[in-house]
Structure 1
């Protein structure tokens, strides 16, 4: 199943400049996702990272993978969202084995590939990797926590 930017915004609370997923190419609810982040020179972080030699910060690549994970973790079998995102928070709480293999620069299309290792009502674990033109640029095991905003 594919999801456009409107569907992504319905599933994630993130907005500019922190929304880091542009399109979902393939999603298996509760299992995996392949999504796209188009990297442009207009990204606000390129002003300081680095002037004259723009490189996407690794932490933002990890964040993009975590956002992609949230999209399929909250999806029902029919693709609809199982949670009211205004009442839930999805926090990145762990990153293990992160490796950055190649710089991501303006003009690249980052393909985010995330697979669920374990999803529960409170903690989710994933295997994630990002590629550009088929070459792995980053990979990590990530862990996210789901919290009810009414309980915080």
Structure 2
């Protein structure tokens, strides 16, 4: 099991934008399963939609991307103090069912290709074994720039 401490050590995201609570089934360079416990206290539910709260689809894609970034970070043994993992594209995104407070997203992500550090993934988000979203996406790593350094 990959718990919160390791996730915080491997991803730069923090509340309220950290979308992976834990992970398991890590296979180096191949696959991982991320877990996101969707709480009624998520800040986006205040406006999406207060009377009928639904997790935004783009945040499901972000949760999949963060799961892929965790897989990359472990595979590359990336030092997040010096390395950023950047989401660079998404294809074939589909949203099948709404995700609501109290749901637990199970997010299997697998590597489709790794060409010179450019990773291509496919991932699904499931609730109780039912697919609620899916996408193919890609990411790469880059040197982190220090504050004040020109981009």
TM-score by length of 1: 0.91
1:110 aligns with 2:105: yes
Partner of 2:50: 51
Residue number in structure 2 paired with 1:30: 29
Counterpart pick for 2:142 among 128, 131, 147: 147
Shift of 1:124: 1.1
Number of aligned residue pairs: give it: 147
Cα gap change, 1:12/1:121 in structure 2, threshold over 3 Å: closer, same or farther? farther
- Say whether 1:138 aligns with 2:148: no
CA distance in 2, matches of 1:98, 1:114: 14
* Deviant stretches of 4+, over 4 Å: none
Q: Secondary structure at the match of 1:85?
A: coil
Which residue number corresponds to residue 42 of structure 1? 41
For 1:23 and 1:64, locate their aligned partners in 2 and report how far apart those are by CA, in whole Å. Answer: 11
Q: Provide the C-alpha distance between the structure 2 equivalents of 1:74 and 1:43, rounded to a whole number of angstroms.
A: 26
Taking the aligned partners of 1:67 and 1:146, their CA distance within structure 2 comes to 13
- Quote the offset at 1:121 in angstroms: 4.4
Shift of residue 30, structure 1, vs aligned partner: 1.2
Q: Give the TM-score normalised by structure 2.
A: 0.92
Q: Are residues 1:124 and 2:119 paired?
A: yes
| Deviation, structure 1 residue 4 | 0.6
Q: Cα RMSD over matched residues? A: 1.5
Q: 1: distance between equivalents of 2:24 and 2:65?
A: 16
SS state of the match for residue 120, structure 2? strand
Q: How far 1:52 sits from its partner (Å)?
A: 0.7
1:100-126 CA distance string (max 9 Å, x none): 000000000000110001124442100
| Contact kept in structure 2, 1:39 and 1:107, CA below 8 Å | yes
Tell me if the contact between 1:29 and 1:74 (Cα under 8 Å) persists in the aligned partners.
no
